[in-house]
Amino acid sequence: MVKEITSILGGVGKKLGIRDVVERSKSTLKEVLDFVDINEVAKYGAEFCSCLLLGIDIVKIAEKMKGKEEFELKKKVVVIIDDLAELNFIEKASLLTLVNWLKKNNARILLVRRINLEEEFIKISEKMGKSYVRDANEMLAGSPDAMLFEDKEQVIFITTNFETFKEIIEANVEGIKHEDIWNLYYASGGLPTLAILMHNIGVKYGEETAKDVYFSIERAKNDKDRARATLNVVYNGIKSVYERAKEKNLALLALFVQPVASDEIERFCEDGRIKKTIGRFNCGKLDGYERIVEFHEEEWFEGKKRKVYELSESWRHMRLFLDVLCDLEENIEEEVKAVREILLDIMTSNSEKTGGRTGRMLLSALENMGWLKERSVFKLKEALLWGGVALSNMPPMGFEFRLKVLDMWDKVEHNDEILLYSSAYAHQLVEFGRTMGLSREDYLTLVDLAEEFMGEETKDDATLCYRAMAYLSSAFGLSYFGLIEESQHYLEKAKKIIKSIEDLKEVAEFYFYLNIARLEYKPLESLNKALEYLNSIEKNGMTDAMRRFLKLYGGKVEEKFKDSLKEWRNAIYFELGKHTCWQMK
């Protein structure tokens, strides 16, 4: 069936002109079929199911297309793609193929691209009423020569006229008075999204003040001055929303940064850094802000659930607006910096205490660390911890994050704690990096990168054990790419480290023989040795060295020890079953 799916994927992909999309799916399908252990099967189950469903859908399409020479869209099809600002360069290149195919089949296409409230806004405003085909193609497709659009095919919405503004506001805000709409129009610079936020949060403007703000735009002498005046009005509106939110409830600032759980809000409000940076404001629960806040329940550790707060759909624009404010207002940037750092510390602490980690926490942690790094706040320990979690749970995202980790590594001093976390991260990097579809040269580069995290001397058993595991995973990965000599080199490095380990020697030896079996070196004999060492680990029970080794998993180490014993035993049985079946053949 798999062969049938991949075969049809290729044929139908060529027929529909979406070859690059289909080829990527075929490649992923092939990768997820080349599993080497049960952990990868579980980890890539979602991708496998997605590819399988895609294959089944295309089988259905192929059956419907039998006997037809060319596939055509029905009439009056409109395709809307929003927002192109979120696409990377490769995705934009794929978009060109899709748009050309849609045009060929007489589809109507609406491509929406958000411009930033800085240089792009000024650039577009300067050229209002002129031909700017190359600029539009560059913004939409990444290249001025993309030929995505021709002249007169672009519509630019900078700010609205009053009648359009009024219609949008009345559709989104119930019971608003006519005079309030005028004031909002003036105070927001005619930006409906901002106006809705100002109304919801209760920003008050008298009529004369609002007009005075707005008519700074009308007094502008040319398009560029008008654009800058408009931006100043918009900036003032965003700042007024931010300051009003501070007055109402400081917890709203946390929500402007990321979705937050109820217990995280409690700890956030209790953190002394908030009072030190921002001052004494009201800070508490977020249940009374229906227009601003939505909530849902999140699965937490041990089967528990907790309430998570998120900005309502119209308020999610505030996250984009907040970045603009931080670029312009140093004091606001310092406040947001404190908010992000506190939230990151809270999520990390919760993870270490409970062992619970959710997708929301992971995504928020990665975003906060990236944002803080750009402002010279380097949270290296947290980056190593969450970077490792990302590698094991969201490999593509974790793999991309490795560059941020490396950048932080060069800027922070390395104590014993950092060396422990970095060695565990190096192991995850080479273990899960192997699944990223790299070339052998790229994987060699990845192994070299992992070594950078393990270059400093240490006598700590837990750190040494993770380093041995990293070298063993490197040996297996290099063997997978056919680099036998290099694989043997890292196997010898692992042996050398294992000799220096004392209290965790059984753990290191267990991993050594498990990987020897994976490398097909006397597999049954190696698995028996691994089982002997595992039984010895279980007999010795919890030790101080084992406690330090398992602390990175978070939660109660006694429970993690039991879970690890089960996981290690399952790994042996999986390899044993694989090699027993091979011998039976």
pLDDT for 358 beyond 60 = yes
pLDDT for 387 beyond 70 = yes
The answer to whether residues 6 and 108 belong to one domain is yes
> How sure is the predictor about 255, in pLDDT bands with cuts at 50, 70 and 90?
very high
Q: H or E stretch including 80? A: strand 78-82
Please state the domain count of the chain.
2
Question: Which has the minimum average pLDDT: 37-51, 120-134, 224-238, 321-335?
Answer: 37-51
Domain-located, residue 510: no
- Letter for the amino acid at 426? A
Provide the domain limits for residue 36. 2-114
Domain-located, residue 276: no
The answer to whether residues 8 and 90 belong to one domain is yes
The answer to whether residues 44 and 110 belong to one domain is yes
Residue 279: the pLDDT is 82
Residue 225: the pLDDT is 64
Last residue of a domain, one of 56, 84, 114: 114
Residue 1: the pLDDT is 42
The answer to whether residues 102 and 42 belong to one domain is yes
The answer to whether residues 94 and 8 belong to one domain is yes
In sequence order, which residues have a C-beta less than 8 Å from that of residue 55 and are 6 or more positions away?
2, 5, 6, 8, 9, 25, 29
Question: Phi first, then psi: what are they for 466, rounded to 5°?
Answer: -65, -35
Last residue of a domain, one of 248, 276, 294: 248
pLDDT for 453 beyond 90 = yes
Q: What is the pLDDT of residues 120-175, one digit of tens each?
A: 655 555 554 444 555 555 555 555 555 555 554 555 555 678 898 899 999 888 88
pLDDT for 115 beyond 80 = no
The answer to whether residues 40 and 107 belong to one domain is yes
Last residue of a domain, one of 218, 248, 278: 248
Question: Which has the minimum average pLDDT: 344-358, 399-413, 427-441?
Answer: 427-441
Domain-located, residue 70: yes
The answer to whether residues 109 and 185 belong to one domain is no
Distance CA 476, CA 534 (A): 20
Domain-located, residue 11: yes
Residue 140: the pLDDT is 55
Domain-located, residue 411: no
Average pLDDT over residues 400-405: 95
Domain-located, residue 56: yes
The answer to whether residues 166 and 99 belong to one domain is no
What CA–CA distances, in Å, run from 286 to 172, 302, 315, 335, 339? 22, 25, 14, 20, 16
> How sure is the predictor about 497, in pLDDT bands with cuts at 50, 70 and 90?
very high
Q: What is the pLDDT of residues 296-345, one digit of tens each?
A: 999 988 888 999 999 998 898 898 889 888 988 999 999 999 999 999 99
Domain-located, residue 9: yes
Domain-located, residue 256: no
Distance CA 353, CA 371 (A): 25
Distance CA 405, CA 398 (A): 10
Q: What is the pLDDT of residues 504-548, one digit of tens each?
A: 999 999 999 999 998 888 888 999 999 999 999 999 999 999 999
Average pLDDT over residues 252-269: 95
Q: Tokens standing for 341? A: 């750092």
pLDDT for 15 beyond 50 = no
The answer to whether residues 109 and 48 belong to one domain is yes
What DSSP string runs through 545-583?
A: HHHHHHGGG-S-HHHHHHHHHHHHHHHHHHHHHHHHHHH
Most confident region among 58-72, 303-317, 419-433 by mean pLDDT: 419-433
Distance CA 493, CA 486 (A): 11
